[in-house]
């Protein structure tokens, strides 16, 4: 079956760095997405990786290893507004998104 695993919840301190991991098992693979979702709001796009390596976008970076079925989202210089759920989603061979349950990130002052 197809499966996306990511931690349910993480806690970090304002100003610090946090890494949110995601492992995936899909029938075929056409890329990996990260979305941010604040409580009670819609998911919003953060990043897309299809090739191995690190993609940096301001305070946020996303990494992909296709051979390991692994990705992570790295958030630097954490701010209180980064408190949200982070959703990992893999694009399978039919170009349909398979979503993880999300990682709730709690930022403490």
Residue of 29, 48, 60, 70 that binds other proteins (CB under 8 A): 48
Distance CA 84, CA 23 (A): 20
Angle at 58 between CA 24 and CA 41, to 5 degrees: 65
Question: Given the DSSP bridges, would you call strands 9-13 and 103-108 parallel, antiparallel or unpaired?
Answer: parallel
Distance CA 5, CA 30 (A): 17
106 binding other proteins? (CB under 8 A) = no
Cβ proximity to other proteins, 53 vs 109, nearer residue? 53
Residue of 45, 51, 58, 67 that binds other proteins (CB under 8 A): 45
We find the least distance from the C-beta atom of residue 77 to other proteins, in angstroms, to be 25
Distance CA 91, CA 79 (A): 30
Cβ proximity to other proteins, 35 vs 78, nearer residue? 35
Distance CA 37, CA 83 (A): 9
Residue of 30, 66, 70, 83 that binds other proteins (CB under 8 A): 30
33 binding other proteins? (CB under 8 A) = yes
Q: Which residues bind other proteins (CB under 8 A)?
A: 4, 30-31, 33, 41-45, 48, 50, 87, 89, 91, 95-102
């Amino acid at each position: 079956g197809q499966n996306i695993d990511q931690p349910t919840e993480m806690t970090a301190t304002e100003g610090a760095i946090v890494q949110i991991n995601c492992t995936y098992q899909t029938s075929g693979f056409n890329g990996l997405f990260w979305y941010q979702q604040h409580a009670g709001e819609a998911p919003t796009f953060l990043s897309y990786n299809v090739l191995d390596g690190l993609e940096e976008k301001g305070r946020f970076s996303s990494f992909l290893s296709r051979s390991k079925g692994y990705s992570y989202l790295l958030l630097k210089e954490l701010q209180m507004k980064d408190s949200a759920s982070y959703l990992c989603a893999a694009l399978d061979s039919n170009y349909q998104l398979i979503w993880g349950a999300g990682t709730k990130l709690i930022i403490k002052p």
